[in-house]
Amino acid sequence: MKSLKFDLNNMFSHAVGTKHGVTDKDLAVIAPAAKKALAHIGKLLSSEKNRVGIGLEWTRLPYQDKENITKLQKLGDEIAASYDNVISLGIGGSYLGLKAAQDALRSPYYNDFPDVRRGRPRVYFEGNNLDPDTLSVLIKNLDPKKTFLIIISKSGETAEPKAAFTVIEEWLRAGAGAAYGRQIMAITDPASGSLRMRVKEEQSRDPLSFRNLPVMKGVGGRFSELNVGLLLMAIAGINIQDVLDGGAAMLERCLKSRLDKNPALMYAALNTVLYRKKGKSIAVMMPFSETLKSTADWYVQLLAESLGKKYARKIKISEDGRETWCPDLRKVVNVGRTPIPARGTNDLHSIQQNNIEGENNKTVTFIRVENFKSDIELRGTGDFLSGHRYSELLSVAEEATEWALVRESKPNCTIVVPEVTPFSWGEMILFFEMATAYEGELLGINAYDQGGVEGYKNYMYYKLKKPGMAEGIVKEIRRNPLKKKSKYIISA
Ligand code: PA5
């Protein structure tokens, strides 16, 4: 099986100059920190307590029990054979990876054509927004009797999926009859949270109702695709063992001790130099593939939530080697590169102008696919396009974009994917996850919490009068209302 290749040339000074590229000296300076990051991650991974406690248990997901995976694949087939539609509810880590897998590994226009779906159900994603228009259209047009529902929420309390679940559950109850709960799969925390409580209640009434799967302990939302996303992949007919095998193969590469053999460590080290020393604070992720666009969206969450942090990390180590991480409130760092998703060639007519001529404050990561599932030859156009294949044009466009960036001393790199398969997609997921873990180490922050996301959630809960809010949070919101002056609101 051909593995992913990483062409990092254009991040270096020989390609884009010493002001904007990484020099040999820069690399020598960061190498000890990279070595330390690798050693620290390695040490954490060797201890289950630390993996679970800190949130690195996702590194075990590629090695799930093969028999369970076969059972899950079968369950997916059974659900696929019984329903015309599947709705998957979830947001953030409970949505982006699923959408990424669906788009990358199933055919384009999957929902539109029965031949393309090969008898499998249509897949719809909801509960990832509070926009009433999409959900309304969906429930007006689907048949509840023929629809299977997956609700994914680790906490069970996230407003978007919780609201959508309330609506869809009601719709199922009204349209599918008393045993509607048998059409529901809940993927949630194994022990706690409101969704888990609900599952317990429903199962005590009818054990076939509200079937459920656990979000594994120590696996945070944005690192959970190879956990919470497997069932939907199985329903859509994707070989989930292949995805996991790809993840395992990449994990092995990303634990290699030599920096020049470890793609995730090298990618993290180069991006850290470019960010900290050369001012490249924006990370554009640009696959040259329409079907990998959602993978870029998934990466945006991974990078933004993992590395966008206010405080440095403080580590406490107990006598048995157990680590506890907490924010060092005396060290405000406000770090993290800002990710931007894009896709070639579409966005060459959009963000590319800024990439080329705008501020030199970004790195662009291209994903180039070497072999597509299909190809089209252009015949008889009588011009420069004649006789060329689409895949060839796309590849030339990617090379041309690299060239245009290099001409302007804009650092970039290319991940070469031999073909988008479950295996190579699994490789991609683990590569980006490991690179993010190393980047977190190099920045000295906790890549596994997301304190910043809580702010808006708390304010919403306060406005909606959610019971049980911590008094301190309520006081903080009351002390700091939004300041609105009418003179700055322009009405007609
Ligand atoms: O990465 C994370 O932990 C978050 O983005 C969560 O995935 C997101 O907030 C959804 O949370 P939950 O699954 O608890 O509904």
Average pLDDT over all residues of the chain = 96
My answer on whether 226 and 359 are in the same domain is no
Q: Total domain count for the chain?
A: 3
pLDDT in tens, 346-358: 999 999 999 999 9
pLDDT in tens, 467-478: 999 999 999 999
Q: Choose the final residue of a domain: 205, 239, 273.
A: 239
What pLDDT score was predicted for residue 358? 93
Going by C-alpha positions, the residue among 269, 219, 267 that lies closest to residue 97 is 219
Binding site membership of 450 for ligand 1 (Cβ less than 6 Å)? yes
pLDDT of residue 454: 83
Distance CA 444, CA 283 (A): 19
Is the sign of the CA dihedral 73, 182, 103, 61 positive or negative? Answer: negative
d(CA 363, CA 282): 6
Q: Is the pLDDT of residue 62 over 80?
A: yes
- Give the residue numbers spanning the domain of 285: 5-56+241-443
| Enzyme catalytic residues | 305, 349, 457
Compute the average pLDDT of residues 115-141.
96
Q: Are residues 390 and 417 in the same domain?
A: yes
Domain boundary pick from 239, 268, 293: 239
Instruction: Flag whether pLDDT at 3 surpasses 80.
Output: yes
Query: Is ligand 1 within 6 A of the CB of residue 428?
Result: no
Is the pLDDT confidence value at 451 over 90? no
Q: Do 399 and 409 belong together in one domain?
A: yes
pLDDT surpasses 90 at 382? no
The finding on whether 127 has its CB within 6 A of some atom of ligand 1 is no
For residue 380, is pLDDT > 80? no
Q: Answer yes or no: do 204 and 260 share one domain.
A: no
Place 452 in a pLDDT band, splitting at 50, 70 and 90. Answer: confident
Rounded Cα gap, residues 266 and 250, in angstroms = 14
Residues 111 and 52 placed together within one structural domain of the fold: no
Please tell me whether residues 329 and 430 are part of one structural domain. Answer: yes
Which residue is it, tokens 């003179």?
487
Mean pLDDT of 4-21: 98
Whether residue 37 is found in the same domain as residue 163: no
Give the pLDDT band of residue 36 (cuts 50, 70, 90).
very high
- Specify the pLDDT at position 453: 85
Helix (H) or strand (E) holding 199: helix 194-205
pLDDT value at residue 455: 85
Q: How far is the CA of 124 from the centre of ligand 1 (A)?
A: 19
Cα–Cα dist 182/209, whole Å? 4
64 and 47 inside one domain = no
Q: Is the pLDDT of residue 272 over 90?
A: yes
Same domain, 304 and 413: yes
Is 341 in the same domain as 250?
A: yes
CATH number, residue 302: 3.40.50.10490
Is the CB–ligand 1 distance for residue 128 below 6 Å? no
pLDDT band with cut points at 50, 70 and 90 for residue 484:
very high
pLDDT in tens, 172-221: 999 999 999 999 999 999 999 999 999 999 999 999 999 999 999 999 99
At 214-262, the pLDDT tens digits run: 999 999 999 999 999 999 999 999 999 999 999 999 999 999 999 999 9
Atom of ligand 1 nearest to the CA of 223: 1
> Same domain, yes or no, for 210 and 326?
no
Residue 17 to residue 109: CA distance in whole angstroms: 43
How many Å apart are CA 269 and CA 272, to the nearest integer?
Answer: 5
For the chain, what percent of residues have pLDDT higher than 90? 95
pLDDT of residue 379: 87
Same domain, 250 and 398: yes
Q: pLDDT band for position 371 (50/70/90)?
A: very high
Cα 221 to ligand 1 centroid, rounded to whole Å: 5
Q: 29 C-alpha vs ligand 1 centroid, how far in Å? A: 36
